[in-house]
Structure formats: structure tokens, C-alpha cells
Chains A and B, each alone.
Chain A
Amino acid sequence: MKKGKLINASLLALTVLLGMSSCDFIKGLFGGDEEPSFKEQLYAYLKKDLPVVTISSDKYAAYFDFSGVYIAYRDPQTKETFNGLTQKITSNGNFNIYKLANSKITELTGKLDPEDQFKQIHNIKEQNQLYAPIKATLEKITEEGRSALLVTDFEEYTKAGGLYTQAYAAPYFKKWLEGGGDITFYVTNYVEKNLPKHLYYVVFDSNDHELLKLVEQGLEGLSKNYTRFTLATNAYPMSYSYLSAAKGGTYHDGQGDDIVSSSVEDGSDNAFFMVDSLRAESYVFNNSWEDIVRNASEMTKENGAEVPFTHLFRNLFIDLSHSDSYKIKELGVKVYNIQDDFEKYWAYTVAIANKPSVKKEAGETYVECPDVSAAYYDETSGKLKKEYDYSKEPGQKVEILDMLDFDDELFKSSFNKDSAHAELGIFFHKGFTGKILQQENPNALLRIDIVPTEVDICDLDIIDQLFGWSGNDCLSASVKSVLQDMKPIGKPIYSYFVRIQ
């Protein structure tokens, strides 16, 4: 009897084991059981603040004004840059190209090989039309959310034949910037019937600046008869002088070891990494905040430290030498516990990517939901549960006070030496012991943002010069209005994400 029981139990255990392993095997085949890495989750979290792309095409859009702008190309230098730009766009092959004329936005038709596209864009007969719908184009660009190039003079005619003089572009520019994008203008000058005017190559892009890079490549080495102006709230080039690609901006001793925070620097997925295009970096510390503060206080010259501890983060530099839109005067630091918000957003991302389907069988309807997202949807209605709907109610973000400060002195002294290389340093708030009062979980995910606290709008005379022309201030007024309304005070220009393990 005993023997029989033993055999039964063994068989049962074997079946369970086999069952488990075959499940894992199948899941492994489809990659279903892989826990998403923190990197993947962070990218998704950061991308929620970028322009929302509503169009399914993964191509860029390029819009060409066909209402007499060709006059500008008579200038040999403009002809050169226009040629360079169109060569790049047509040869790249990753563009939907549109012409703007007769109050219509129409995609180029025909053979649509690069040669044909290039011919059409350069066909002066085609270009001698009227009524380029610029306002509608701006609306289309902001609606679609994908990166776009617009070549125009911004002269919009009303149906009655008059010129638009109202700042019609302002709401669209604002919308693009609010979505986290930026707008780069290449402004060239030309004369039409003795009136000085401008032709603009306008690039609507997001932080990764892939389209902008293409445009820059197209213009590389050609006459620079244009002025570049970036309408942006946070597009400042950043640079670093970190010890290596795997090591971040934390304290390192003479041997290059981070012996204060014990940041994981092995290059693995669960270590320090940078997210260049999204202006962020991520750290995993092996010490608690209390230990980090204790270690930091030990690293003094008196204690024989070869390299004394000064900052939690430094060696990050910002280039403010040609900040077009705003002049940053003061910066500060904001710290948030984003654990809840981060988790809620990821759950929402998973839920949206794995929607349930309503099925009908034998007259009965039922909801079928993928395993990964089953917890987020109502079993009977198939609707997203309220508590997981991030779009309606984001997670909690708790601001942490009196923990970190921005090193104003370091910033100003390095800025005065070289405005293209101003250093951003963050140190512990005086009196911070490592105990974070505003949070229960001492190891929660923290987001540390560097934010402008005081900014000046750029010289408005420059705006008039670049965006105004005889008798028409519709564009300069648009740009001014955007600059006045979108002051980036409190908006992060760079973020550190820190986990304690």
C-alpha cells in the first residue's frame, strides 16, 4: 500500500514537473514569459511625453508650397540648398511628399520613383499656382504627430483673395511644442516684386531629431545663406564627460569605482544606461539612501580620500551658446517618487497593447482576453477597469523635498567660462540624512529632474527680422505668442531615474 502511494506521488510530481516545463517551453518559444526589462518600461514611460503619432504610416511627411515660392529659388544659393534638400528627401525614400496648391494638400502621384518625385518638385510650371493651404497643412502636421518638413513662405491667402495677417500658425506651433516636439526653421531671404520676403524650410521633429539630421545632411557643405532658428522649450544639446559608456555621473574614486552609491555599472540591462534622445539616464544603486549619505560624508580629504565627494551627479554639460527661443537664467532640481505612476503607466501600456476581443458562439457573446492583460479588463464587459485607465487618471507622483539641490555656483561659473559647456551638478540638500520623509518605501523609483526656474525670451527684434516681412506680421506674431505662452519654467530639460536595489 505504502509503495503504491509512493509511486502515485512520484507519478504526480513527474506529471506536474513535465507540465510546468512544457508550458515554459511553449512560452519561451513565443517569448511570452519574458519579464519586460526596466529599459523597455522606461522608454515607454518617456515616450508618453512625445508627440502622439496618430497616423499608421511610418514615413516622414514633406510638404512643398507650389504657390509661386519658386521665385525664391532664383537666388543661386537658395537654389543650391533647395536642391540639396530635395535630393536628400527623394533619395531617402522614406517620405510621403505633398504639394500645396489650389487650397488642397495632394500627395504626389505618378511613377513616384526618386527621379519622378524630384522632377515634380522642381517643375516650375507646376509651381506657378495659387492658394497654398498652409493653415490646413499645419493642422494636418499637428494632427498626425509624425515628423514633417514644410517648405513655404507662410503667405496664406483668404478665399476672398486677401492675405492672412492674423497669427494663424500660433495654435499649431503651440500644440506641437506641448506634445514635446520642437520646430526648426531655416530662414532664407528673397525679393519678390521689390519686396523682401523669406522662404522657410521648417522641420517639425521630436527629441530624437532623426528628420532634422536628414535635413542637416541635405544641407551639409552647401551655401549657408539661411539663419537657423529653433522654436523649442527644451532642445538644448547635452554632453558628458563620464569615465566610460557604462559609467554615469555619480562619484568615482581614483580607481574609477563608485564607492559611495555603488551604482551598477556592468553594462547589463539592470545597470546604468543613457537615453540620449529622451534626455534621461537611469541608475541602479546598491546602497540605501542612508548608506549613500554616510559613505559620502566619509569621502573627505581629512579621511584620506584621494577624490573627495562633492556631488551625487555631475559631469553633465548643457550647450546654451545658441539657445534660440529662451535664455536660461536659473536652473533647479525637482525630485519625485514616481513608483506608482510608472507602474500604472506600464500596466496601461500592456493593457492597450493586448486588448480583449468580444466573441460570439452559439448565440452567446463572451470576452476573450490575452493572459497578460486579463487583470486589467472587466471580465463581462471587456472594458478597461477604471483603476488601470492611465489616460483618465495617471498614477501618483509625490514630490520629495529637501533631498537634493542644484549647484548654482558650478553652473554659473562654468557658464561664464564657456556657455557651450555649462556644467550641471546635483548635490545633497544640507541636513539630508538619507531618510526620505515623504515616502513609505525608501527604495521607490525616483525621478530627478533638472528644470529651468527662470528664463528670458530671446531678443524679439530677431523674431521680427526672421519671421516678419513687409506688411505682414502673422508669422512673427505667431512665434512671439508661442514664446510668451510656452515659457518652460518647471519643465524638465534632463532627468535622472534612480532605483535602489
Chain B
Amino acid sequence: MILLASVPTSSAYIIGVGACIVLILLAAVIATSISYKPDLTDVKKRKIWFWILALLCPVLTFVIAYFAYYKGIKVHTQQTAYMTAIGISAAISFVLYVVLGFIAAKVSKTGKIGNWF
């Protein structure tokens, strides 16, 4: 796909938010699928998975935005503008993931998700 018209930098932000939502849901599914252990190792596992996916969040944003849009942009200044948008979006997706995770953990304090924080 070649984008010569004004590049929709909004797409980079949408991808960031999308990646964040998908991964937070995935983290929730993983957290619930880990069964309780008497030695409480399950709590650590949930935490580790939460943070692995947190790191994946900006990576996924970058990879999708890069291959879906950035590669198709030929105009130099638009490449620069889009790369900046990807960077900001990746950071936003990470922060949003952590914030959503924190809220979810506090809401279901006693549930499995509560183990995230």
C-alpha cells in the first residue's frame, strides 16, 4: 500500500490503543487460566505474565504500525511524522496498559486479576 495523501497519523494511535486493549484482555484470560496454588506461585506467575504483555504492548504497536502503514509511506517528511506518531503511540499503549491493569486489579482485589498489583 502506498500512501501519498496526507498520512493518517491517527492510525498509529488507534493501533496503540487497540494493541493495549487486546493485550490487557489476553493478560486477563491468562490470569484467570492460571489455577490457584497452595504455595502461592500462581500469584507470581500472573504478575510475570502481566508485565511480559506490558512490554509486548509497545512492541506490537510498533510492529503493526510499521508494516501496515509506515512501510508504504514514500514521502520523507511524512515518514518522519509517522515514525514520531508510532513512538508516542507505543509509549501511550504501554502507559494505558499499566493504568488499565492497575484499575482492574484494584476493582477485583480478591480475584485473580487482583494479583497484578
Interface residues of A (CB under 8 A from B): 253, 257-260, 262, 264-265, 286-287, 291, 294-295, 298-299, 501
Contacts and interface: CB of A to CB of B under 8 A. Distances in A.
Interface stretch (B20-28, B35-43, B59-67, B72-80): B72-80
B74 A287 contact: no
Contacts of B74: 253, 257, 259
Nearest to A263: B4
B33 interface: no
B5 A286 contact: yes
Contacts of B78: 262, 287, 291
A295 B77 contact: yes
Nearest to B77: A291
Contacts of A262: 4-6, 75, 78
B1 interface: no
Nearest to A261: B75
Contacts of B6: 262, 286, 501
30 contacts: A253-B74, A257-B2, A257-B4, A257-B74, A258-B4, A259-B75, A259-B76, A260-B75, A262-B4, A262-B5, A262-B6, A262-B75, A262-B78, A264-B5, A265-B4, A286-B4, A286-B5, A286-B6, A287-B75, A287-B77, A291-B75, A291-B77, A291-B78, A294-B76, A295-B75, A295-B76, A295-B77, A298-B76, A299-B76, A501-B6
A462 B46 CA distance: 97
Q: Which of A262, A264, A299 has the most CB of B within 10 A?
A: A262
A346 B31 CA distance: 65
A108 to B, nearest CB: 58
B5 A294 contact: no
A294 B4 contact: no
A259 to B, nearest CB: 4
Nearest to A264: B5
A257 B4 CA distance: 8
Interface of B: 2, 4-6, 74-78
Contacts of B5: 262, 264, 286
A5 B76 CA distance: 57
A287 B3 CA distance: 13
Contacts of A287: 75, 77-78
Given A260-B75, A265-B4, 15 more contacts: A259-B4, A259-B74, A262-B4, A262-B78, A264-B5, A286-B4, A286-B5, A286-B6, A287-B75, A287-B78, A291-B75, A291-B78, A295-B76, A295-B77, A298-B76
Q: Is the interface of A mostly helix, strand, loop or mixed?
A: loop
Contacts of A295: 75-77
A253 B4 CA distance: 12
A299 B6 CA distance: 19
A329 B5 CA distance: 40
A286 to B, nearest CB: 5
A349 to B, nearest CB: 30
A291 B82 CA distance: 13
Contacts of A260: 75
Contacts of A257: 2, 4, 74
Contacts of B76: 259, 294-295, 298-299
B82 to A, nearest CB: 13
Contacts of A299: 76
B65 to A, nearest CB: 20
Contacts of A294: 76-77
A249 B117 CA distance: 61
A262 B6 CA distance: 8
Contacts of B75: 259-260, 262, 287, 291, 295
Contacts of A291: 75, 77-78
A265 B5 CA distance: 9
Contacts of A265: 4
B83 to A, nearest CB: 14
- Top-5 shortest CB links A-B: A291-B77, A259-B74, A298-B76, A286-B6, A259-B75
A253 B76 CA distance: 13
A459 to B, nearest CB: 50
Q: Which of A291, A299, A501 has the most CB of B within 10 A?
A: A291
B4 to A, nearest CB: 5
Nearest to B75: A259
Contacts of A253: 74
Contacts of A264: 5
A287 B78 CA distance: 8
A260 B74 CA distance: 9
B9 to A, nearest CB: 13
A264 B3 CA distance: 11
A292 to B, nearest CB: 8
A264 B75 CA distance: 13
A322 B10 CA distance: 55
A355 B88 CA distance: 54
A310 B76 CA distance: 16
A260 B5 CA distance: 11
Contacts of B2: 257
Q: Which of B2, B74, B77 has the most CB of A within 10 A?
A: B77
B2 to A, nearest CB: 7
A270 B13 CA distance: 27
B14 to A, nearest CB: 20
